[in-house]
Amino acid sequence: MNDEINNILIIGSGNISWHLEKNFKKKNIIVSVIGARKFLESNSDKYKQEFKNKDLIIIAVIDSEISNISRIIYDEKLLGENKILVHTSGSMGIEIIKNKGENYGVFYPLQTFTKNKEIDFTKVPICIEANNLKTLNELNKIGKLLSDNIYEIDSSQRKQIHISAVFACNFVNHLIGISKQELNKKNIPFEILFPLIDETISKAKESNPFKSQTGPAIRGDIKTMESHIQDLENDERDIYKLLSQKIINKNKEL
């Protein structure tokens, strides 16, 4: 095994791929990228050319294609001897790319990525897992080139992180979308909420958010809640009712 990873192939050309390519190149790693569709349409000779001299193959495609692509890689014997195959998915286990005698793992950068919007990658937590210690060490080393925050995380933990991230990222984003939409209705600038949002996040990070909860639900202020519910439209009303109830439930548990 050549202990240095110098030459990476990324399969997939989505958001994660875009950011990995950019940041590996900054560290003078040779990176090539092949789109998932193009990969699936390649023939054996084309494949072999793409994979030649690659130390690490990163499958960065939608979850449903990972298994298929790793199968082709193994069947066509594309992975060089002692080289490493990883996927980047938060929700898929390591076993989805399992293969006897090979080095494989997961290299999951925990961030919401947008193409063409650069971020400070040194802050991005990278969750790594591997089927043997040597591979884990390699992933740790290449991860540290990009980020200061490498976590060894098993598949069951990674799935839990992904669930948590849906709440803290996708759902939070939807709620902030609603807050902007409601302000727009009365021509109030969105910026008026920014200090509140910043302080909410800062407090939530520092403490147990359930214990530092504020607002009408936790105060049991039914009059205010009813008045808000009346003003909202269907979709937002459903959310308001459910989350207020859940805040009340949680408070009883504490």
E strands, the chain, in order = 7-11, 30-34, 56-59, 84-87, 103-109, 126-130, 150-152
Q: How far is the CB of 56 from a copy of itself (least distance, A)?
A: 23
The whole-angstrom separation of Cα 144 and Cα 148 is 6
Output 1 or 242, the one with its CB closest to a copy of itself. Answer: 242
CB-based contact 163:140 (threshold 8 Å):
no
Q: Tell me which residue of 200, 162, 164, 182 sits closest to 239, measured CA to CA.
A: 182
Residue nearer to a copy of itself on the CB measure, 29 or 127: 127
Closer Cβ to a copy of itself, 99 or 149, answer by number: 149
Binders in 177-236 for a copy of itself, by CB under 8 A? 177-183, 185-188, 190, 192-201, 203-205, 208-210, 212-219, 221, 223-224, 227-228, 231-232, 235-236
Of 6 and 227, CB closest to a copy of itself? 227
Please report, as residue ranges, which positions from 86 to 115 form the binding site for a copy of itself (by CB under 8 A). 91, 110-112, 114
Neighbour-count burial of 226, counting CB atoms closer than 10 A to its CB (0-12 exposed, 13-18 middle, 19+ buried): exposed
What's the closest the beta carbon of residue 74 comes to a copy of itself, in angstroms? 23
The one among 26, 141, 170, 233 contacting a copy of itself by CB under 8 A = 170
Q: How far is the CB of 85 from a copy of itself (least distance, A)?
A: 22
User: Which residues, other chains included, contact 42 with Cβ-Cβ below 8 Å and sequence gap of 6+?
Assistant: 34, 50
